[in-house]
């Protein structure tokens, strides 16, 4: 048989496993980082693609008899490369909390973000455990994850809890965000 191939070199800190589901005959590629065994991602492989693992690289094959085999292989290779890139290098959004007495902390045991935003109570936000991770450093919150939509939605949700005041600028700001503040009228 004649095959068309594409090769993708892998990072040394990634492990790949192949798994076949008996029930619906799906082939799945499992991926995890060697350093952290708890983060495991999967990618469902189409039937027309064959994969081989060889010395730190993956070789994708498609039978050249398949109609539009070049287009199918290129489309699959692009989508898989984007997925792999998002796993290796997570996306980040930084929120800066400006205001005297405002605080943020993460309760790691319960996966809850606690915010003190000048209200009479402490606001507790549940962090989606699998998709998003949050780091707090003094007045900076760093929201990390692989899915840009979920990161953006969660960062916007947090920001809307204390939107920046238009006069003094107190509240959550995105890093490098510029907003012109209104001038306070003097009598």
| Residue 67 confidence (pLDDT) | 82
Report how far apart, in Å, the C-alpha atoms of 110 and of each of 54, 107, 128 are. Answer: 41, 6, 11
What is the Cα 46 distance to its own chain's centre? 23
Residue whose pair of structure tokens reads 């590629």 in the numeric block = 29
Nearest to 117 by CA among 135, 101, 140: 101
| Residue 19 confidence (pLDDT) | 72
| Residue 156 confidence (pLDDT) | 93
Q: Say which CATH superfamily domain 3-88 falls into.
A: Ribosomal protein L6 (3.90.930.12)
| Residue 124 confidence (pLDDT) | 92
Across the strands, what pairs with 57? 9, 54
Q: One fold for both 3-88 and 91-174?
A: yes
The set of residues, in sequence order, having a beta carbon less than 8 Å from that of 7 and lying 6+ positions away, is 57, 58, 59, 60
| Residue 154 confidence (pLDDT) | 92
The low-confidence residues of the chain, meaning pLDDT below 50, are none
Which fold does the domain 91-174 belong to in CATH?
Answer: Outer Surface Protein A; domain 3 (3.90.930)
| Residue 173 confidence (pLDDT) | 92
Here the tokens at position 173 are: 């700001």
3-state class (DSSP) for residue 48: coil
The alpha carbon torsion through 83, 84, 90, 91 (nearest 10 deg) reads -40
Q: Is 172 exposed, middle or buried (0-12, 13-18, 19+ CB in 10 A)?
A: buried
pTM: 0.61
Enumerate the domain spans of the chain. 3-88, 91-174
| Residue 58 confidence (pLDDT) | 82
| Residue 1 confidence (pLDDT) | 64
């Amino acid at each position: 048989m004649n095959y068309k191939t594409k090769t993708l070199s892998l990072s040394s800190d990634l492990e790949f496993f192949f798994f076949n589901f008996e029930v619906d005959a799906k082939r799945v590629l499992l991926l995890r980082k060697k350093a952290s065994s708890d983060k495991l991602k999967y990618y469902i492989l189409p039937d027309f693609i064959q994969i081989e693992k060889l010395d730190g690289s993956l070789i994708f094959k498609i039978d050249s008899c398949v109609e539009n085999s070049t287009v199918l292989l290129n489309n699959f290779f692009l989508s898989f490369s984007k997925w792999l890139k998002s796993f290796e290098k997570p996306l980040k959004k930084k929120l800066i909390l400006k205001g005297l007495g405002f605080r943020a902390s993460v309760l790691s045991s319960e996966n809850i973000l606690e915010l003190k935003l000048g209200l009479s109570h402490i606001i507790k936000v549940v962090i989606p455990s699998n998709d998003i991770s949050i780091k707090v450093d003094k007045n900076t919150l760093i929201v990390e994850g692989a899915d840009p939509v979920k990161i953006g939605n969660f960062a916007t949700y947090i920001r809307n809890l204390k939107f920046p005041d238009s006069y003094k600028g107190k509240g959550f700001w995105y890093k490098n965000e510029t907003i012109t503040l209104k001038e306070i009228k003097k009598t």
